[in-house]
Amino acid sequence: MPMPVPLIERYAARLPVTAKTPRLTLGEGGTPLVRAPGLERETGIAEVWLKIEGANPTGSFKDRGMVMAVAKAVESKATAVLCASTGNTAASAAAYAARASLRCAVILPAGYVAVGKLVQAIAFGAHVVAVKGTFDDALRVVREVGASEDVTIVNSINPYRIDGQKTAAFEIVETFGDAPDALFIPVGNAGNITAYWRGFTEAAADGLAKKRPVMYGFQAEGAAPIVRGAPVEHPETLATAIRIGTPASWQTALAARDESGGAIEAVSDEQIVEAYAFLARVEGVFCEPASAASVAGLRALAQAGRLRGRDRVVCVLTGNGLKDPERARTLAGEVLEVEPSGVAVREAIA
Ligand code: F0G
């Protein structure tokens, strides 16, 4: 095995990295790109690939952007970081802040953060504050509290977050020697679709890729402001990671959609759960519900016959299934308890 190279170091030439930027790392990036034969059979698409971002250190894609944002916070001599979050940004901020010896405060929507993410933020020693409202309220509060010389906001309104996250697009291009025909991605606050589009655009401009992919973003039906063209005041979806009514990167998400000739559409919670179960049971890949929105969208578009000529596609699976154990339990059904004997077990599994 070669020595691991920190993400910041590996892409230093393509990131706002200076000699003074600390080479902070927890081993982020370099995530698996895995073929999905079950989805290929179902959709008739020649190649379906899954970018498994749940393999990042804190279990989501946020680590790519957070390592960059926290490194730049250290470089600017900040002593604390602050963010609003549906959970994953909080877990990531808390981890990198701990690593960099910064204080960290995370503002969460009360009652709507999956338990795995919440315990991560607590374990990493962040100040965890829940506001009685949505993620959008939490982000408004963060903007109100505001940044200062000491405090850096590490939501994706911090441009370094987007810079770090675009590295996932570079990795995909490196693997294929070109961009895929299409990319499927969940959309919440819309930072990640913005980041991938920027990454693919830079890769094409530098001659690393001959083309850019068509970008297909998916919001949950009950939290689909971009699809509706208006903010959603009371967003609702079981995919709590993307339960967002006013995305911060709305305009750049529209640009990614329009410049790529793609679409941003809604998928129902039922479609999300079906894709979530399919990924686990057929592909052996366990992601969190919000991540499965990308695959729910792929299945819907394939079924509608809208993906002809898209021969190689990538679905981004943004977070690990263990983030949301309560949702996972609803898949598992009941666990049988039997006497510890061969007879009883044979009967139970027959
Ligand atoms: N998937 C997961 C697992 C997420 O946690 C998020 C966003 C998204 C998709 C959507 O990405 O916001 O860039 O469009 N989570 C944020 C958070 C909002 O606070 O962890 P996006």
Ligand 1 centre to CA of 193 (Å) is 10
Residue 337: is it exposed, middle or buried by C-beta count within 10 angstroms (0-12/13-18/19+)? exposed
Ligand 1 centre to CA of 241 (Å) is 5
Instruction: Please state the pTM of the whole predicted model.
Output: 0.97
Asked if pLDDT for residue 333 goes beyond 80, the answer is: no
- Establish whether residue 246 lines the binding site of ligand 1, counting it when its CB lies within 6 angstroms of any ligand atom: no
Cβ contact 38:278 at 8 Å: yes
Q: Nearest residue CA, atom 11 of ligand 1? A: 188
- Establish whether residue 260 lines the binding site of ligand 1, counting it when its CB lies within 6 angstroms of any ligand atom: no
pLDDT at 334: 80
pLDDT in tens, 91-125: 999 999 999 999 999 999 999 999 999 999 999 99
- Establish whether residue 134 lines the binding site of ligand 1, counting it when its CB lies within 6 angstroms of any ligand atom: no
Phi, psi of 296 (to 5 degrees): -60, -40
CA-based nearest residue to 278, from 302, 306, 309, 308 = 302
- Establish whether residue 65 lines the binding site of ligand 1, counting it when its CB lies within 6 angstroms of any ligand atom: no
- Torsion over CA: 227, 295, 28, 206 (sign): negative
- Establish whether residue 201 lines the binding site of ligand 1, counting it when its CB lies within 6 angstroms of any ligand atom: no
pLDDT at 147: 84
Q: What does 264-296 look like in DSSP terms, one character per residue? A: EEEE-HHHHHHHHHHIIIII---B-HHHHHHHH
Show the beta-strand stretches assigned E in the chain. 33-35, 47-52, 80-84, 103-109, 127-131, 151-153, 182-186, 214-220, 263-267, 312-317
Phi, psi of 144 (to 5 degrees): -65, -50
- Establish whether residue 109 lines the binding site of ligand 1, counting it when its CB lies within 6 angstroms of any ligand atom: no
CA-based nearest residue to 92, from 22, 29, 18 = 29
Asked if pLDDT for residue 85 goes beyond 80, the answer is: yes
Point out the ligand 1 atom lying closest to the alpha carbon of residue 190. 14
Can you name the residues that pair with 135 across neighbouring β-strands?
Answer: none
pLDDT at 2: 86
pLDDT at 332: 74
pLDDT in tens, 287-321: 999 999 999 999 999 999 999 999 999 999 999 99
Cβ contact 312:181 at 8 Å: yes
Q: Residue 48, SS3?
A: strand
Ligand 1 centre to CA of 229 (Å) is 20
